[in-house]
Amino acid sequence: MSDVVSTGSTTRVSLTVNGVRHDLDLPARRLLSDALRHDLRLTGTHVGCEHGVCGACTVLVDGAPMRSCLLFAVSLDGAEITTVEGCRSADGGMGPVQQAFHECHALQCGFCTPGFITTITAFLDDNPAPTRDEAREAVSGNLCRCTGYVNIVSAVERAAELRREPTP
């Protein structure tokens, strides 16, 4: 049946974020980026331009990277969300993409980094051994004003190597 909600009230939304289920009562206008940051206090997701251009707020929705500032949380009832906090390794340390960013000096101020980590994590799931051109293409939707991208592209290649190495 149709679920009609007045502007003054909230809608119940069930989101599974980094493997943990949350039932939230949210106003319809709440962007996913704000639901993550304000309601769930997961401030790893950064909000840059807030109109879908910069890519800083990228999260994975059912495994696919999407701009969380271009999604209404109420529309995602039942979805599985992965944020940068969910990109760490199983032992709680840095995940392979984070480790590669550390090794390659692929960040300076770090504001854009969460969007890169999530985007690259999903990209390497689809393409575990990318060429440098493919790596560059994969991050073309994310803006970074510090690094000049060269080290970020290197980090994509390094992360692919790290993922291929057997875990100790």
Partner 1 sequence: MKPPAFTYHRPATVQEAVQLLDAHAGEGAKVLAGGQSLVPLMSMRLAAPGHLVDINHVAGLDTVEVTSTGVRVGALARHSRVEHDAAAFAALPLLRQALGQVAHPTIRNRGTTVGSLVHGDPAAEMTAVLAVLDGEVELVGPHGSRSVGAADFFVGPMETEHADAEVAVAATFRRPPAGTGSAFVELARRHGDYAMCGVAALVTVDADLAVTGARVGLISVGAGPVVVDLGPAVSGSGGGVDTPRARELVDAAIDPEDDIHATATYRRHLAHVLTERAVAQAHEAARGTRRSAA
Residues in contact with partner 1 by CB under 8 A are 1-7, 11, 27-29, 31, 34, 50-52, 55, 58, 61, 64-67, 69-72, 74-75, 77, 119, 137-138, 140-141
Tell me the closest approach of the beta carbon of residue 15 to partner 1, in angstroms: 14
Dihedral (CA of 70, 81, 56, 143) sign: negative
Smallest gap from residue 155 Cβ to partner 1 (A): 18
Q: Of 10 and 103, which has the nearer Cβ to partner 1?
A: 10
Under 8 Å between Cβ of 145 and 107: no
Which residue, 51 or 90, is less far from partner 1 as judged by CB?
51
Residue placing its CB nearer to partner 1 in the complex, 2 or 167: 2
Q: How far is CA 144 from CA 95, 98, 109, 129, in A?
A: 21, 16, 9, 23
Between 75 and 89, CB nearer to partner 1: 75
In angstroms, the CA 50 to CA 56 distance is 9
User: Torsion angle, CA of 99/129/134/112, rounded to 10 degrees?
Assistant: -20
